[in-house]
C-alpha cells in the first residue's frame, strides 16, 4: 500500500453533544473509531495527521438550506421549539429536538467542509470525517436522523471551485438529499447503492430516477435486493460505477460511508462484510484522485467501528494485515474466536440466496445501464 497524505477529522466538542440515548444514531461510533485507529498507530506520523473542526459558517449553510429552516433548527435547539416546525421534520421520532442539536449539526458539517478545503488547498489526498454523512437532509426538511446535509455542502464547495465531483453513496439508505441538491447539474455525478426502496427508508432511489435538465444521467441509483452479499455487490459496482467514473473523469471523490449494509445491522437486510467496502475504496484509489470520506449510517456500533477503521487503513495507505491476530472480531455469525483483526470473515451464502440475489441484481444493473449509459456514450 502506498502511503498518502491523509487527514482524520475529529471534533472533541461533539462528545458533549450526543443524540438522545434512546435514539438509533449512536454518536459513540466516532470516538470509538478514533480510539481504535489511534491504538493502531494510524493517526500521526509520516503523512498522517489529525485535525479538529470549526462550526460551518451560516453563509455556507445557506447555499443549500433556507434561512427559515436554519432559524427553526437553531431556535428549537435552544428550547424555542414551535409546533409548526413539524412540517420541516423537526421534532419527529427520527429527528428529535435535543439540546445542542444545532451545534452538533454545525460541527459535523464544518468538518466535511474542512475536508473539502484541505483537498482544494492540496494539503491532503485522503480525508475522513466520521462525524458526517447526513445525506437525508433537504433545504427545508430534516429527515432520517439528518438535520444539515454536510455531504451536499462539501460537494458544492468542491464543485464551486471548479472540480468535477463523483459522489458515491454506499449507505444502505438512498442518498436522497444529495441527489436532490445536484439533480439538474452535470458537474457533480451522484451514484447511490442502497437497499430496495420499496422495503427501506426513504422510499426513493429507483432505477428511473436519473436527474433532469443538464443533470440528466448524472444521478444514478442502484437498488439492491434483500440479502445482497459481497461478490454480487462488488460485481454491480464494477458494472455500473467504474464505467461511469471513467467517462465522467472526476477531479475528486466524495464517499458517504454508511456501514449499515453490513450483515447484522438492525435497520437493514443486506449481507455484506467490511471487506467489500475496503475493495471498493481500493478501486477508487486506483484512479489516483483525492477522496473525501464521511461517516453515515451503521447501527451495529462495533461492526461500524471496525468497518470505518479498516476503511481508514485503506484510504490512508496503512495496511492492516500486520494486525491480523489482533482478535478484534468482525461480522461473526459464528465462532467468537475469529482472529481476523479488522477484517470480517467471509460469510457463507446459501445457494438459494445467491440465485435470488443474482437474478434480481442482474435485472437492476441492466435497467440502470440501459437508462444511463447511452447518455454518456457508453456501450451497454
Distance CA(140)–CA(154), nearest Å, equals: 18
DSSP string, 236-258: HIIIIIHHHHHHH--SEEEEE--
Scan for cell 486506483, then name that residue.
286
| Cis amide bond preceding 18, omega within 30 | no
Closest listed residue to residue 329, CA positions, set 346, 342, 313? 342
Distance CA(153)–CA(241), nearest Å, equals: 22
**Assigned C-alpha cell, 182:** 445536484
| Active-site annotation holder among 65, 136, 173, 194 | 136
Cα-Cα-Cα-Cα dihedral of 65, 71, 74, 77, to 10°?
Answer: -110
Scan for cell 459535523, then name that residue.
108
Q: What does each C-alpha distance from 304 to 13, 130, 202 come to in angstroms?
A: 21, 11, 21
- 376 assigned to active site: no
Burial pattern 352-366, b for ≥16 Cβ within 10 A else e, equals ebeeebbebbeebbe
Direct distance between the N- and C-terminal alpha carbons of the chain, in angstroms, rounded to an integer: 33
Cα-Cα-Cα-Cα dihedral of 269, 271, 274, 279, to 10°?
Answer: -120
**Assigned C-alpha cell, 47:** 503523512
Q: What values do phi and psi take at 17, rounded to 5?
A: -130, 55
**Which residues are annotated as catalytic?**
136
Amino acid at each position: 500500500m502506498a502511503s498518502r497524505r491523509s487527514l482524520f477529522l475529529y471534533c472533541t466538542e461533539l462528545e458533549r453533544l450526543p443524540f438522545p440515548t434512546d435514539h438509533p444514531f449512536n454518536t459513540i461510533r466516532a470516538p470509538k473509531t478514533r480510539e481504535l485507529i489511534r491504538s493502531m498507530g494510524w493517526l500521526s506520523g509520516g503523512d498522517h495527521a489529525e485535525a479538529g473542526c470549526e462550526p460551518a459558517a451560516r453563509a455556507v449553510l445557506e447555499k443549500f438550506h433556507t434561512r427559515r429552516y436554519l432559524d427553526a433548527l437553531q431556535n428549537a435547539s435552544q428550547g424555542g421549539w414551535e409546533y409548526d416546525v413539524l412540517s420541516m421534520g423537526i421534532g419527529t421520532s427520527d429527528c428529535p429536538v435535543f439540546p445542542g442539536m444545532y451545534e452538533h449539526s454545525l460541527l459535523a458539517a464544518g468538518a466535511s467542509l474542512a475536508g473539502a478545503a484541505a483537498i482544494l488547498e492540496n494539503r491532503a489526498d485522503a480525508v475522513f470525517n466520521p462525524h458526517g454523512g447526513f445525506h437525508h437532509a433537504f433545504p427545508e426538511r430534516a429527515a432520517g436522523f439528518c438535520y444539515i446535509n454536510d455531504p451536499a455542502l462539501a460537494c458544492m464547495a468542491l464543485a464551486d471551485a471548479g472540480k468535477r465531483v463523483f459522489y458515491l453513496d454506499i449507505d444502505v439508505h438512498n442518498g436522497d438529499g444529495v441527489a436532490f441538491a445536484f439533480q439538474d447539474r452535470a458537474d457533480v455525478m451522484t451514484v447511490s447503492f442502497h437497499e430496495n426502496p420499496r422495503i427501506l427508508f426513504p422510499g426513493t432511489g429507483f432505477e428511473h430516477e436519473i436527474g433532469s435538465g443538464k443533470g440528466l444521467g448524472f444521478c444514478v441509483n442502484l437498488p439492491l435486493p434483500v440479502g445482497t452479499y459481497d461478490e454480487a455487490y462488488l460485481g454491480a459496482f464494477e458494472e455500473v460505477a467504474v464505467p461511469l467514473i471513467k467517462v465522467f473523469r472526476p477531479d475528486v471523490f466524495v464517499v458517504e460511508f454508511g456501514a449499515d449494509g453490513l450483515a447484522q445491522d438492525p435497520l437493514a437486510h443486506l449481507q455484506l462484510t467490511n471487506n467489500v467496502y475496503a475493495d471498493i475504496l481500493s478501486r477508487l484509489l486506483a484512479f489516483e484522485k483525492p477522496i473525501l470520506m464521511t461517516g453515515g449510517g451503521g447501527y451495529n456500533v462495533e461492526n461500524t467501528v471496525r468497518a470505518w477503521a479498516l476503511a481508514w487503513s485503506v484510504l490512508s495507505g496503512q495496511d492492516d494485515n500486520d494486525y491480523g491476530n489482533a482478535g478484534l472480531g468482525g461480522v461473526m455469525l459464528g465462532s467468537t474466536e475469529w482472529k481476523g483483526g479488522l477484517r470480517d470473515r467471509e460469510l457463507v451464502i446459501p445457494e438459494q440466496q445467491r440465485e435470488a440475489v443474482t437474478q434480481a441484481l442482474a435485472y437492476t444493473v441492466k435497467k440502470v445501464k440501459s437508462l444511463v449509459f447511452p447518455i454518456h456514450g457508453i456501450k451497454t
